[in-house]
Amino acid sequence: MQIGNVVASSVITVKKNWRRGGLKLFLMAIPFIVIVFVFSYIPLFGWIYAFYDYLPGIALSKTEFIGLDNFREMLSDGEMTRVMINTLVLSFLSILSSPLPLVLAVLLNEVKASWFKKLIQTTTTLPNFTSWVIVFSLAFSLFSSEGLINQLLMKAGLINDPLNVLGNERIVWIFQTLLGIWKTIGWSAIIYLAAIAGIDSELYDAAKVDGAGRLKSILHITLPGISSTFFVLLLLAISNMLSAGFEQYLVFYNVMVANKIEVLDLFVYRLGLITNDYSYSTAVGIFKSVVSIVLLFSVNHISRKVRGESII
């Protein structure tokens, strides 16, 4: 009887809590659920165009059904191979630089002067809110043939001819990676600063009593405390490897670096909106989505096996 009364009272409590707060939270979430459904799931109906030789203005019922021809074409398309190499290399370089925001967050956490800490954090975070168009304008002013950097180097007698930084395909991968680091490092560091703030301060006090200095506190308290955050972000970045970016490479795209800067998203944009090959571009988009989903569940499985925790 006592157990039954406890269960009954628990059910009543849950219902009361649902009525008080749960229902309100659910109703507040409905608009966002609808937005996600409308903009993320309803457009999936457009995948059907990948299986037809679609031409604008012709009804789909009157369009020739070609099945998997677009997907077979992808396997033998030399341009697709080049674009995949560009995408994977740029994504790999981005993943390789992923520890830098963590390092910045740890260093900022060790700064005692609050004004200096705020100055550095604000300075490194502001580029994240700057449009890539503005970033390109700044880069053009600095690195173009008549830009500030070339003018200073030539006046100093260090070079005779201007450096072609924006049109040099040999350095385009490194240059774009450095731009991405500069733009996002401050914003990404905020996540690690939040994780550091969640570490129990008593651990640092105990380490100080035991005679541990700053370096040992970082190695044995700070880094283990934020390692789970780092691995989650790393695994998500790996699962998102085919989404190397779009705006950045679109504004820096030019004929001289086209072969090295065209990534998968830019390739789909060129196929669909410039050459009007809607069917093939849709097939490429499906390929990207399927591979991204496979990567996501693969890294989730690896995380569960290695760390005992999953990310989804």
pLDDT in tens, 123-177: 999 999 999 999 999 999 998 888 888 888 888 888 888 888 888 889 999 999 9
pLDDT: is 289 or 11 the higher one?
Answer: 289
Q: Which residue from 98, 148, 134 is spatially nearest to 248, judged by alpha carbons?
A: 134
pTM over 0.85: no
CA-angle at 73, arms to 72 and 75, nearest 5° = 70
At 7 the pLDDT is 40
* 9: pLDDT strictly greater than 80: no
Q: Is residue 198 scored above 90 in pLDDT?
A: no
d(CA 91, CA 84): 10
pLDDT class of 22 with cuts at 50, 70, 90 = low
Mean pLDDT for the chain overall: 85
Q: How many CB atoms lie within 10 A of CB 22?
A: 13
Q: Report the pLDDT value the prediction gives residue 92, as an integer from 0 to 100.
A: 93
Q: What is the pLDDT of residues 269-287, one digit of tens each?
A: 988 888 888 899 999 989 9
Domains of the chain with CATH codes? 1-51 (no CATH), 68-306 (1.10.3720.10)
Q: Would you state the pLDDT for residue 134?
A: 93
On the 0-12 / 13-18 / 19+ scale of CB atoms within 10 A, 33 is exposed
The two three-digit tokens of residue 255, written as one number: 């004929």
DSSP assignment string, 49-89: GGGB---TTS-GGGSPB-TTHHHHHHHH-HHHHHHHHHHHH
Which residue is it, tokens 């070079």? 159
- Would you state the pLDDT for residue 306? 76
Please write the tens of the pLDDT for every residue from 233-262: 888 888 888 888 889 999 999 889 989 999
What phi-psi label fits residue 57: left (phi over 0), alpha (psi between -120 and 50 degrees) or beta? left
